[in-house]
A = this chain, B = another copy of it.
Amino acid sequence: MKKLTAAKAKEAYEKMNDIRNFENTLHDIFAKGEIPGFVHLYAGEEAVAVGVCSHLTDSDYITSTHRGHGHCIAKGCDLKGMMAEIYGRETGLCKGKGGSMHIADLDKGMLGANGIVGSGFPLAIGAGLRNQYLGTDDVAVCFFGDGAANEGNFHESINMAAIWKLPVVFINENNTFAESTPQHYSSASPTIAERAAAYNIPGEKVDGKDFMAVYEAAGKAIDRARKGEGPSLIEYHTYREYGHFEGDEQTYKYDSDEEIAFHDRDDIKEFRAYALKKKLFTEKDAEKIEDKSVQDVADAVEFAKASPIPQPEALFTDVFAD
């Protein structure tokens, strides 16, 4: 696994900032009633998406979830195209036809946010199968939540990935809740990671607020997959900053001081401190990145708002390829 270079660290810090700003901005915009629909924010979990995707290139694939903005940004999707999509504009990554829950960018290897919990699993093994079939060393990474770990697809797909030694890495984002349902209620096993044993693959539980821990665990698993040694499962303990979706009153939070303390940890600040200490970038670099990120997200909003809505004919197109 490659060590985190200064360049990579900077890029990661940029992306983490982009995600946080993107989501904070959406939170405000939603409250103002400017965007409709179901919007699930990724803020608070940045270290996971970015720590994992730092190991990937455009030719690797990822599958995502309803909480997809973080994965998109981490995988390199354009902020403007994303924001325009969420606004339902013609310039959106999906021409405004998908919306927040369906942002995709095949050129970036991003196989779509997904409104159906657990349906990313089979798409990921399909992409993994493709990589293996074509003899590439590309991988497919499947992001999924703690709630998704109880869907049948979890079981079926991981088993298939294991028997075929597919280059797929299963990344569990255990943010302790599925909507309002706590993981300790919905899963019979204390951890998701230990379920890996049922498929004879490595499984590990890792602090998901700690960027470096995320980065290293993912690096090992992705290397392993690239080398043809098969799939792995990593459970990252994390916590979402906002509600399940915008509008959620979150009366289910919190049960304990530990929970509050964990929630209050800021993965971005922690990584910033680490990177400064390790001299991966300077305070000044950091500030520049932070400012630019705020600006880029603001520009994305501008861009989206200034973009046209789809032409009426768009309703009828893109059902079939010719």
Residues of chain A at interface, number, CB under 8 A: 24
Contact with B along A125-160 (1 / 0, CB 8 A): 000000000000000000000000011111110110
**Chain B contacts of A19 at CB under 8 A?**
none
Additional A-B contacts beyond A155-B155, A155-B156, A189-B197 (18; CB < 8 A): A150-B156, A151-B152, A152-B152, A152-B153, A152-B154, A152-B155, A152-B156, A158-B188, A159-B188, A163-B185, A163-B187, A188-B198, A188-B200, A188-B201, A189-B198, A189-B199, A190-B200, A194-B197
Q: Hey, which bits of chain A sit against chain B, CB under 8 A?
A: 150-156, 158-159, 162-163, 185-190, 194-195, 197-201
| Chain B, residue nearest A164 (CB) | B188
Q: Give Cα distance in the complex from A154 to B198, angstroms.
A: 12
Q: Give Cα distance in the complex from A207 to B163, angstroms.
A: 25
| Chain B, residue nearest A162 (CB) | B188
Q: Give Cα distance in the complex from A153 to B186, angstroms.
A: 16
Q: CB within 8 A of A195: which of B154, B162, B190, B198? A: B198
**Chain B contacts of A194 at CB under 8 A?**
197-198
Minimum distance in angstroms from A150 CB to a CB of chain B: 6
Minimum distance in angstroms from A266 CB to a CB of chain B: 32
Contact in complex: B200, A197 (CB < 8 Å): no
| Chain B, residue nearest A156 (CB) | B152
Q: How many copies, total? A: 2
Contact in complex: A189, B200 (CB < 8 Å): yes
Q: Give Cα distance in the complex from A154 to B194, angstroms.
A: 17
- The 7 residue pairs across chains A and B that have the minimum distance between CB atoms: A152-B152, A155-B155, A162-B188, A188-B199, A198-B198, A195-B198, A188-B200
**Chain B contacts of A151 at CB under 8 A?**
152, 156
**Chain B contacts of A154 at CB under 8 A?**
152, 155
**Chain B contacts of A150 at CB under 8 A?**
155-156, 159
| Chain B, residue nearest A185 (CB) | B163
A163-B190 in contact given A156-B150, A195-B198 (Cβ < 8 Å): no
**Chain B contacts of A190 at CB under 8 A?**
200
**Chain B contacts of A199 at CB under 8 A?**
188-189
Q: Give Cα distance in the complex from A195 to B159, angstroms.
A: 11
Minimum distance in angstroms from A203 CB to a CB of chain B: 10
**Chain B contacts of A155 at CB under 8 A?**
150, 152, 154-156
Minimum distance in angstroms from A71 CB to a CB of chain B: 24
Q: Give Cα distance in the complex from A200 to B191, angstroms.
A: 10
**Chain B contacts of A201 at CB under 8 A?**
188
| Chain B, residue nearest A159 (CB) | B188
Q: Give Cα distance in the complex from A159 to B155, angstroms.
A: 11
Q: Give Cα distance in the complex from A199 to B188, angstroms.
A: 5
Q: Give Cα distance in the complex from A200 to B151, angstroms.
A: 17
